[in-house]
Amino acid sequence: MLNAILNNTKGDRWIWLIVIVLSLISLLAVYSSTGTIAYQHGTGAESFLMKHLAMVVAGIALMYISHKLDYRYYAGISKILMAITIPLLLYTLLFGNNLNDASRWIAIPGTGLTFQTSDLAKLALITYLARTLSRKQENIKDVKNSFIPIMGSVCVVFILIALANLSTALMLFGVSILLLIIGRISIKQISIVCVAGAVLLAGVMLLGPRRATYISRINAFMHPEKVDADKSYQSDHAKIAIATGGVLGKGPGNSTERNYLPHPYSDFIYATIIEEYGLIGGFVIVCIYLFLLYRCIKIVTKAPKAFGALLAAGLSFSLTIQAFGNMAVAVGLGPVTGIPLPFVSMGGTSILFTSIAFGIILSVSKDIEEPKKVVVGEIREVAVA
């Protein structure tokens, strides 16, 4: 059975290896960092580990399924996703589960699970932009038929996410701009999108429902000496975890700051990893994501179709920017946000959407491998003849 699965597993082998390595790191880190929350719930850390393991296994299964599907089908799926995403984002803002004055989650009926609609929105917007940019290449400078639909989709998704989750919205907006650049949108039009985004950002920062939270976090980051200790509590303990970890770390399961950090298993899991595995462990994580970006760039440059190249570029940029955003916050290079470390942080449906993104990238890489096999087969047939 294992051989059958391996024989049917296509795409970039290095990306498959990266996913397996990140999964193992995630299981170790989550098991170590959930002791406090397990105690608060009156259970053992093993129960959280098993739930996380189930999500990781489900994620890899979804990755396998999505990589088997020809990536060209995602062009049509993107229209359906966008039609679903925007109403879901509106519904989340109005009726979603509220936590820390932010409505980011909606419940999945009958399952007891919740998911962040922004995770679906990332997948929907990137696939939609890749489809639109690839199909409008011949008249890419047409304002009415090309530019306005692209700008409208980016700005609408940005504002709907930003009202509850500014950090995710900014990262998605940045990925969208990168796709516009790759898709040969003119500098003038890209500048217009950036100006529109800046206006929307100013509106969210000054008039949005979470304006006080955003301003407080920026002040705590820019002027930590002038704010109350509770405002910089999370970043202070993340820095303590990193400082006490040293070069080699305290060893697996020996973190102490996991007892003080509010989310050592998700938002600040990178700080927990450095505390236990030292700077060496933190450096290994950085290298893994850099290598992932390198492999994805190779896929982008070799993709035979514009849609595949744009799709792989958008999804890979999204994953790596999110990863480095999470790590930057943990080491004090950015204000506190609620961004998880892709495929490492404990999560529910976020792991599933990340897995689908990996699967789509693998589907694009599979399309690169198959033409090579056809060419080799044709050469052999000619040689035999």
Q: What residues of the chain score a pLDDT lower than 50?
A: 373-385
106 alpha carbon, distance to own chain's centre: 19
DSSP structure class, residue 43: S
Q: How far apart are CA 102 and CA 93, in angstroms?
A: 8
Query: How much is the pLDDT for 179?
Result: 92
In the block, residue with structure tokens 């792991």: 351
Q: Provide the angle, in degrees to the nearest 10, between the axes of the packed helices 166-182 and 306-330.
A: 140
Whether residue 238 contacts residue 255, with contact meaning beta carbons closer than 8 Å, is answered with no
Query: How much is the pLDDT for 296?
Result: 93
pTM: predicted TM-score of the whole model, two decimal places = 0.88
Query: How much is the pLDDT for 378?
Result: 41
Whether residue 56 contacts residue 23, with contact meaning beta carbons closer than 8 Å, is answered with yes
Whether residue 161 contacts residue 153, with contact meaning beta carbons closer than 8 Å, is answered with no
Query: How much is the pLDDT for 285?
Result: 95
Q: How far apart are CA 17 and CA 292, in angstroms?
A: 10
Average pLDDT score over the chain: 84
Q: What is the pLDDT of residues 85-122, one digit of tens each?
A: 999 998 888 877 766 556 677 777 666 667 788 889 99
Query: How many CA atoms within 13 Å lie on the side-chain side of 284?
Result: 13
Strand order in 97-99's β-sheet?
A: 97-99, 102-108, 113-116
3-state secondary structure of 130: helix
In the block, residue with structure tokens 């958008």: 314
What does the block give as tokens for 382?
A: 């000619």
Query: How much is the pLDDT for 385?
Result: 35
Dihedral, CA atoms, 361, 363, 366, 367, nearest 10 degrees? -100
201-220: burial string, b at 16+ Cβ within 10 Å, e else: beebeeebebeeebebbeeb
341: Cβ–Cβ under 8 A, 6 or more apart, which residues? 266, 269, 270, 322, 323, 326, 327
